[in-house]
Amino acid sequence: MEKHLAMAAAAAAFAAAALAQQPVPPTPAFAAPNLTPQGVAALAANCAMCHGTRGLPAPGSSLPRIAGRNAESTIEAMKAFKEGKREATVMHQIAKGFTDSEIAAIAGYFASQREGS
Amino acid sequence: MSLQRRDFLKAGGAALAAGLAGCATMRSASGPAKARVVVVGGGYGGATAARYVRLLDPTIDVILVEQNESFVSCPLSNMVLGGFRTMGDITRPYSGLEARGVRVVRDTAIAIDAQKKQVRLSRGDAIGFERVIVSPGVDFMWEALPAMASESAQGEVLHAWKAGPQTAALRLQLEAMPDGGIYVLSIPEAPYRCPPGPYERACQVAAYFRARKPRSKVLLLDANADVTSKGPLFKKAWADLYKGFIEYRPNSKAVDVDVRGRAVKLEFDDVKADVLNVLPPMKAGGAAAAFITVNKRWCEVDWVTYESKAAKGVHILGDSLQIAPAMPKSGSMANGHAKVCAAAVVALLRGEAPNPSPTLINTCYSMVSDKHAIHVASVHKYDEKDRTMKAVPGSGGVSLGMSEAEGAYAMNWAANIWADALS
């Protein structure tokens, strides 16, 4: 019995040591977001594949237009997606990739976009 | 760009109207010519890059070298095989880019001389550039399938992995196949263009069989150990929508093809097909081949500028790249690469610093029927320390399940990304 306990203890110690030696995935050293006007436009350009260039949907697209939308309402929607409070197919997964300051900057960018500008 | 430089360029403009050939920077008494950017390849990456350089700075002379008359989309092309879309539905003109001032040259870039700063063409005169953006997609490694070396073999056993004439031809082969036949799709080891594409294709062909040829079968021979993208979602779609129509065999790598016998040669046996569709292993395409730095297949770039690690002034994007961790070779990704690259090229031409913190979103839909879709999404940011793009922890994911709502979103995606690249 004692022998078994000792073996179990040794095994546990070994497992702990192995765990300790396992490489912990390093936290990514993300570059600080560039929130100059060009940097914000570059961030927002990622939304174009579904929401249209500068948030202006292409003819035939039925997704909501985000160009010209009030910044507060975009921020609120993105926050709700990010926190899982608003149901979505994909936006909750995408919103989690952006910091609050990035979301605010993107929302401001879309609020100022107009047709033909 | 400062007002001063803009006005300066405008003043010099009249003296600088010149043909396509010649030096990138044609100098005249009134000052330097407007900068020229040549884009090689008008797919998801190249067309987007050409458009965004012009959007960001309309004074830059942009020339797009593209061998095809029109843009034909790989995304949605599997629906042509299913019979739910026509070639016309997935074809768009380059006229929107031309209206934006992009000069589209129908030719093939055969070489890029980074020293002389020239793109050499198959038919026309060489075109000079200040910076070149290379987005040629993939080439096939026919050497991996010796019997496929000849053009006649490649005309019989199709890949249809570059949307265009092969897409239409494969659909005709499926239509001509008698009921009770077997369609075999051979999938290469990852990485290859569009990881979920083969599994979506299986759904589309099975949907056609279920409706029109119910005694026929789809057989997937996958060189990989398992479905490489959206695995559980595809397997559920196969079970729920196409029960009895799709057979999946992992670890089944093609080593050659029996062209006349319509069979794939695996390591230990041959598998006969009625319609045989073989995706060969892939590598960086055409003009990018000279800048391959990894495994004799892919090109490495600086993820801030997309400048090649092999040549200055040469920017590469899209499927030719050695991908960063968790980054797929997709049209969505190429569209994102192109916008980061275009902004960096414009900044560099102005002597400004490029955006040091690029972000990319990938969103790929797969149509598992005529109206149901599933997706995979991810967000990638630049890691300064490791100088690569990394997925943001906690972001991204796949669909909960297939849905008609996502099918509609997939169509919106296509309409918007095509406009983002081509209008």
Cα–Cα distance between B233 and B180 in angstroms, integer?
27
For residue A30, the chain B residues in CB contact (below 8 A) are: 357, 381-384, 390, 392
User: Residue A27: inside a domain, yes or no?
Assistant: no
Q: What is the DSSP letter of B160?
A: -
Q: Is B405 on the interface with A (CB under 8 A)?
A: yes
Dump pLDDT digits (tens) for B63-89: 999 999 999 999 999 999 999 999 999
Given a cut of 50, whether residue B261 has pLDDT beyond it is: yes
Cα separation values, B119 from B54, B316, B346, Å: 20, 14, 19
A60 confidence band (pLDDT: 50, 70, 90): confident
Q: For chain B, what percent of residues have pLDDT higher than 90?
A: 91
All structural domains of chain B, each given as residue ranges with its CATH number in brackets, are 3-140+283-355 (3.50.50.60), 142-282 (3.50.50.60)
Peptide bond into B191 cis (omega under 30): yes
Instruction: Give the pLDDT score at B18.
Output: 39
Q: Which two tokens stand for residue B115?
A: 């020293």
| A and B: number of Cβ contacts within 8 A | 141
Contact call for B408 and A62, based on CB within 8 A: yes
Residue B4 banded pLDDT, cuts 50, 70, 90: very low
The reported pTM is 0.90
Residue A102 lies in a domain: yes
**For residue B288, what are the β-bridge partners?**
none
Interval B15-53: pLDDT, tens? 333 344 444 444 334 445 689 999 999 999 999 999 999
A-contacting residues in B 353-372 (Cβ below 8 Å): 355-361, 363
Are B408 and B343 in contact by the 8 Å Cβ rule? The answer is no
**Coil, helix or strand for A89?**
coil
Of A48, A63, A97, which is closest to B395 when you measure between CB atoms? A97
- B229 in Cβ contact with B198 (< 8 Å): no
Is B131 exposed, middle or buried, given 0-12, 13-18 or 19+ CB atoms closer than 10 A?
Answer: buried
Q: Which residue has the tokens 């993107």?
A: A106
By Cβ distance, the residue of A34, A57, A93 closest to B377 is: A93
Helix (H) or strand (E) holding B202: helix B197-212
Q: For all residues of chain B together, what is the average pLDDT?
A: 93
Burial A1-14 (b: 16+ CB within 10 A, else e): eeeeeeeeeeeeee
Residue range B134-183, pLDDT digits in tens:
999 999 999 999 999 999 999 999 999 999 999 999 999 999 999 999 99
CA distances (Å), origin B235, targets B138, B196, B232, B253:
28, 12, 5, 20
Q: What is the pLDDT of residue B178?
A: 98
Q: Are strands B263-265 and B270-272 parallel, antiparallel or unpaired?
A: antiparallel
- CA separation for the pair B303, B289 (Å, rounded): 19
Segment (H or E) for B275 = strand B275-278
Sign of CA dihedral B216, B222, B225, B228: negative
Tell me how far apart the alpha carbons of residues B245 and B118 are, in angstroms, rounded to a whole number: 52
Please give the pLDDT value at position A4.
53
Q: Is residue A5 part of a domain?
A: no
Q: Rounded CA gap, B302 and B299, in Å?
A: 10
Evaluate whether residue A52 is within a structural domain.
Answer: yes
Assigned domain for A19 exists: no
- Cβ atoms of B238 and B374 closer than 8 Å: no
Please report whether residue A89 resides in a domain: yes
Length of chain B: 423
Whether B332 sits inside 8 A of A97 (CB atoms) is: no
Instruction: Please report whether residue A46 resides in a domain.
Output: yes
* Total domains in the fold of chain A: 1
Question: Which stretches of chain A sit within 8 Å of chain B by CB?
Answer: 28-34, 38-39, 42-43, 45-53, 57-63, 89-90, 93-94, 96-98, 102
* Of the partner residues B355, B394, B396, the one whose CB lies closest to the CB of residue A39: B355
Which SS3 state, helix, strand or coil, does residue B274 take? coil
Residue B13: pLDDT above 60?
no
Q: What is the pLDDT of residue B381?
A: 97
pLDDT at A21 over 80: no
- Each residue's pLDDT tens digit, B368-414: 999 999 999 999 999 999 999 999 999 999 999 999 999 999 999 99
- pLDDT, residue A113, reads 97
Look up residue A60 and give its DSSP letter.
Answer: T
What integer pLDDT is reported at residue A117 of this predicted model? 53
User: Which candidate, B117, B271, B107, B105, places its Cα nearest to that of B187?
Assistant: B271
DSSP for residue B148? G
- Angle (nearest 5°) at CA B338 between B362 and B311: 120
- CATH of residue A80: 1.10.760.10
Q: A5 pLDDT exceeds 90?
A: no
ipTM value: 0.88
| pLDDT confidence of residue B3 | 37
C-alpha of B182 from chain center: 28
Report if residue A80 sits inside a domain.
Answer: yes
Structure tokens at A81: 């997606």
Contact criterion met (CB below 8 Å) for B352 and B344: no
C-alpha dihedral sign at B118, B121, B123, B127: negative
Per the CB < 8 A criterion, the answer to whether B30 and B303 are in contact is no
The distance of Cα A114 from the centroid of its chain, to the nearest Å, equals 26
How far does CA B132 lie from the centroid of its chain? 18
Residues 51-70 of B with CB under 8 A from A: 52, 55
Residue range(s) defining the domain that contains residue A45: 32-111
B240: pLDDT strictly greater than 80: yes
pLDDT exceeds 60 at position B92: yes
- For B107-124, the pLDDT digits (tens) are 999 999 999 999 999 999
> How many CB atoms within 10 Å of residue B283?
22
Does B394 lie at the interface with A, CB-CB under 8 angstroms?
yes
What pLDDT shows up at residue A116? 75
